[in-house]
Amino acid sequence: MLVNTKHFYFGKNQLSGEIPARLFHSKMTLTHLLVENNKFTGVIPDTLGFVQTMKVLRLDRNLFNGSVPQNLNNLIHVNVLHISNNKLNGLLPNLTGMNGLNYLDMSSNAFNASDFPSWIPSLQSLTTLVIENTGLQGSVPASLFSLHQLQTVILRNNKLNGSLEIESTYSNQLQLIDVQNNLIESFTQTPGYPFQIMLKGNPFYNERGEGTETYCIETQQHETSLQNCLKIECSSNQVSSPACKCAFPYVGNLIFRAPSFLNLGNITTYETLEKSLMLFFQERQLPVESVSLHNPTIDSDDCYLVIHLQVFPSSQDSFNATGVAGIGFVLSNQIFEPPSSFGLYVFINDGYKYLAETSTGSKKSSSTGIIIGATVGGSVLAILALIIGIYAFRQKKRAEDAAKRSDPFASWDSNKHSGAVPQLTGARFFSFEELKKWTNNFSETNDIGCGGYGKVYRGTLPNGELVAIKRALQGSAQGAREFKSEIELLSRIHHKNVVGLAGFCFDRAEQMPVYEYIPNGTLKDGLSGKTGIRLDWMRRLNIAIGAARGLQYLHDLVSPPIIHRDIKSNNILLDGNLNAKVSDFGLSRFLGERGHITTQFKGTMGYMDPEYYMTNQLTEKSDVFSFGVVLLEIVTGKVPIDKGRYIVKEVKDAMDMTKDLYNLHEILDPVVRSGATPRSLEEFVVLALKCVEEGGVNRPKMSEVVKQIENIMEIERLNPYADYASTSATYEGANKGLNHPYTES
């Protein structure tokens, strides 16, 4: 759905699995797709060929297999293509028509042995060609080297043979031809070639090594340092600028992630970058006198081009804070656009320790100030002192606020049974005054819910974003440990079916989690009719699958796994599209390596796992039991315990599989009874009862629950009258509390 997104940067992570084909389509405006150096498997999606706006495609250093999609050559605007270091097989892809291609690397794959592709010399924009370790055979066409922009050709470790011929019309930009370790039998030497030819490991080189020293170079080194004058001696950590002045430069590394060239020896390339940087700084009116580029290197692991950048100040020997902030901002936020051959980049600065003092006025203004001060007398001095005092007080207050924001838990008391200081991942700190302002002093009009802990208030951030703020009452059952557990967990988990943490407040003895705002309240309110939204059968199934996926994420995809410990309809929220979001992690715990943790029994009456109650051993099956009760709520519309009656026992006692709808007509919610297909409804009840088995070993995992609900939804959606094999046939005597096998339809 991200049709307006220009860039996907996922390189150099630990991402795995297959890239889904549905991710790409013709309506996208994606220009950069970088997934290099991950652990992706499966085939390259052929839907990539539909993204006509693509310019940079890096799929290298993964575990892709299968053949390259035949429609990849539809991407006529791509100028950088890396598919190297995978397990791709079949024929080499035919990229005819990709006339904008500058950089092509197809190395180190398992392609079928084939002759040198005849279409490569037709790529008129090609600057760099890398095809090594692919079993390439036959002779290299002489026309290849006549491509007018060609700089680098690397074809080593193949089975190329015949004679290596270079026409007199070779590119004047050509710097390197590397055909080492092939089967080339002859090469006509012509004195004066301005480029390097590497032939070691070929029969020609081995048999006629004499006289080939000019061409057979084993290693290649480039040293590039742009300097407009002889360096002068500087002291005190200063550096000589290109204008031969000593100063403290702002330094860092420009890391280009998809350059269209490998040749590092062409100084003109860097002069172009240097000039464009200077022109950009001048247009932005930044205090820059000159820039200098040094030590360009190619990162062999990622094919990134790294260039050391020095930016020198104008009019003085160091930058002030404004100058540093301006330069850092335009580089770090990629506002500067380098020449197209360099491509996309990131900037990492080295910090700046030499900030200049900001001028505060001339001697003349100082003298004038003295005269005025002497004229008006001590009263003005007293006023000034008062103003300075107020200013100092405010500055001190701001400093204290800044310190609090940098360490909001400075006053956390770990001795009051609250555990160690919370360890958060990217959560935002809000002060009490901010939340007070954004909730209109916690007004009743912003009160959107309450519980044993206290109340939940709606707040509006300055940017218009709505949030939900949970504020505990004095004497609330929720203490510091629960607050700590909730913000720690939510700060590190992100899933569409788990409520998001916007931040927290630990200020003035208040402990308030701040969540994303979920507009349609709780599932409990929805089932009771308080929200005014009619939850028909398909909507209830959609809510059930969403909550199940949220729990599956906590159990299976978070490391270490998380046990919620308080799953109930009141802790499942409904967003604007009635999608479910699991919330309230105050009682949650991380699961130990043994598959359970021994802990004090906690939870909500009616939802609690009897096995956990008996053993104090908390497992993921404890959440499954609670979720089974929620499923029974969804299908009956009843609360778990009402006037001494327990919903689980009610359903089991009424259950009779020999009768229509298993004899549950009186218990089912009328909306469900009238709107659901009998078969899907029966399957749903069977699943719920399987979840509430007394023994955890007999309950399904959440992943199995998800699959079963998906099956029920698919049957309901496609053909509500289909006669299908029912899993309920495996459930016998449910009302007797027996253990039964769980199977999937």
* Residue 300 tokens, joined: 């062999």
Contact criterion met (CB below 8 Å) for 318 and 288: no
Predicted confidence at residue 479, as pLDDT, reads 63
Q: Which parts of 511-641 fold into alpha helices (H)?
A: 523-528, 537-552, 610-615, 620-636
Q: Are residues 629 and 600 in the same domain?
A: yes
Provide the number of structural domains found in the chain: 4
* 301 part of the active site: no
Predicted confidence at residue 370, as pLDDT, reads 41
- CA distances (Å), origin 112, targets 137, 179, 564: 10, 19, 52
Sheet holding 501-507, edge to edge: 447-450, 454-460, 466-472, 510-516, 501-507
For the stretch 523-538, pLDDT in tens is 999 999 888 889 999 9
Has residue 738 got a pLDDT over 80? Answer: no
The lowest-confidence range among 115-124, 243-252, 389-398 is: 389-398
Residues that constitute the known binding site: 470
DSSP string of 16-81?
A: EEEPPGGG--TT----EEE--SSEEESPPPGGGGG-TT--EEE--SS--EEPPPGGGGG-TT--EE
Q: Which of 332, 349, 366 is the C-terminal boundary of a domain?
A: 349
Predicted confidence at residue 381, as pLDDT, reads 54
Q: What average pLDDT does the segment 43-62 reach?
A: 94
Q: What average pLDDT does the segment 595-601 reach?
A: 75
Asked whether residue 217 is domain-assigned, the answer is no
The catalytically annotated residue of 566, 584, 609, 623 is 566
Q: Is the peptide bond before 720 cis (omega within 30 degrees of 0)?
A: no
Predicted confidence at residue 663, as pLDDT, reads 92
Q: Are residues 455 and 562 in the same domain?
A: no
- Three-state DSSP class for residue 631: helix
Distance CA 43, CA 32 (A): 19
What's the CATH code of the domain at 61?
A: 3.80.10.10
Has residue 207 got a pLDDT over 70? Answer: no
Asked whether residue 413 is domain-assigned, the answer is no
Has residue 720 got a pLDDT over 80? Answer: no
- CA distances (Å), origin 76, targets 73, 122, 146, 378: 6, 13, 22, 78
Q: Are residues 551 and 490 in the same domain?
A: no
Portion of the chain with pLDDT greater than 90, in percent: 46
Q: Which of 163, 185, 207 is the C-terminal boundary of a domain?
A: 207
Predicted confidence at residue 130, as pLDDT, reads 94
Q: Are residues 649 and 700 in the same domain?
A: yes
Contact criterion met (CB below 8 Å) for 502 and 514: yes
Distance CA 208, CA 282 (A): 57
Q: What average pLDDT does the segment 287-294 reach?
A: 90
The sign one gets for the Cα dihedral 722, 723, 725, 728 is positive
Contact criterion met (CB below 8 Å) for 61 and 85: yes
Contact criterion met (CB below 8 Å) for 125 and 97: no
Q: Are residues 494 and 532 in the same domain?
A: no
Predicted confidence at residue 696, as pLDDT, reads 92
Asked whether residue 128 is domain-assigned, the answer is yes
Residues that constitute the known binding site for ATP: 470
Asked whether residue 391 is domain-assigned, the answer is no
The CB density around residue 448, as the number of other CB atoms within 10 Å, is 15
The lowest-confidence range among 94-98, 242-246, 434-438 is: 242-246
For the stretch 464-491, pLDDT in tens is 889 999 888 764 545 677 787 788 788 8
Contact criterion met (CB below 8 Å) for 509 and 480: no
Predicted confidence at residue 205, as pLDDT, reads 72
Asked whether residue 379 is domain-assigned, the answer is no
Predicted confidence at residue 591, as pLDDT, reads 83
**Which residue(s) pair with 455 in the sheet?**
450, 471
Distance CA 128, CA 272 (A): 19
* Residue 153 tokens, joined: 């050709």
Q: Are residues 165 and 145 in the same domain?
A: yes
Asked whether residue 46 is domain-assigned, the answer is yes
| Type and span of the H or E element at 348 | strand 345-349
Has residue 204 got a pLDDT over 90? Answer: no
What's the CATH code of the domain at 474?
A: 3.30.200.20
Q: Which of 347, 338, 344, 339 lies closest to 80, judged by CA?
A: 344
The lowest-confidence range among 109-113, 584-588, 721-725, 738-742 is: 738-742
Q: What average pLDDT does the segment 692-706 reach?
A: 95
Q: Using the structure block, give the residue that is written with the tokens 């996907």.
A: 8
The more confidently predicted of residues 711 and 193 is: 711
The residue segments making up the domain with residue 572 are 523-736
What's the CATH code of the domain at 260?
A: 3.30.70
Q: Are residues 575 and 436 in the same domain?
A: no
Is the pTM here over 0.75, yes or no?
no
Average pLDDT in the chain:
82
Q: Which of 719, 714, 740 lies closest to 728, judged by CA?
A: 740
Distance CA 306, CA 636 (A): 64
The lowest-confidence range among 80-94, 138-152, 287-301 is: 287-301
Q: Are residues 446 and 549 in the same domain?
A: no
Q: Which of 500, 516, 532 is the C-terminal boundary of a domain?
A: 516
Has residue 640 got a pLDDT over 90? Answer: yes
- Residue 563's pLDDT band, with cuts at 50, 70 and 90, is very high
Q: What average pLDDT does the segment 555-563 reach?
A: 90
Q: At 686, which amino acid appears?
A: V
Predicted confidence at residue 103, as pLDDT, reads 93
Q: Are residues 275 and 174 in the same domain?
A: no
Has residue 732 got a pLDDT over 50? Answer: no
- Residue 269's pLDDT band, with cuts at 50, 70 and 90, is confident
Q: What average pLDDT does the segment 320-344 reach?
A: 84
Q: Are residues 620 and 691 in the same domain?
A: yes
Asked whether residue 586 is domain-assigned, the answer is yes
Q: Are residues 16 and 149 in the same domain?
A: yes
Distance CA 632, CA 54 (A): 49
Identify the top-confidence range among 297-306, 326-335, 558-567, 610-619.
558-567
- CA distances (Å), origin 162, targets 109, 119, 208, 389, 733: 23, 19, 15, 87, 80
Q: Using the structure block, give the residue that is written with the tokens 């955890």.
A: 696
Q: Are residues 568 and 689 in the same domain?
A: yes
The lowest-confidence range among 52-61, 431-440, 506-515 is: 506-515
Q: What average pLDDT does the segment 179-198 reach?
A: 86
Predicted confidence at residue 222, as pLDDT, reads 40
Has residue 224 got a pLDDT over 50? Answer: no
Portion of the chain with pLDDT greater than 70, in percent: 82
Has residue 701 got a pLDDT over 60? Answer: yes
Asked whether residue 339 is domain-assigned, the answer is yes
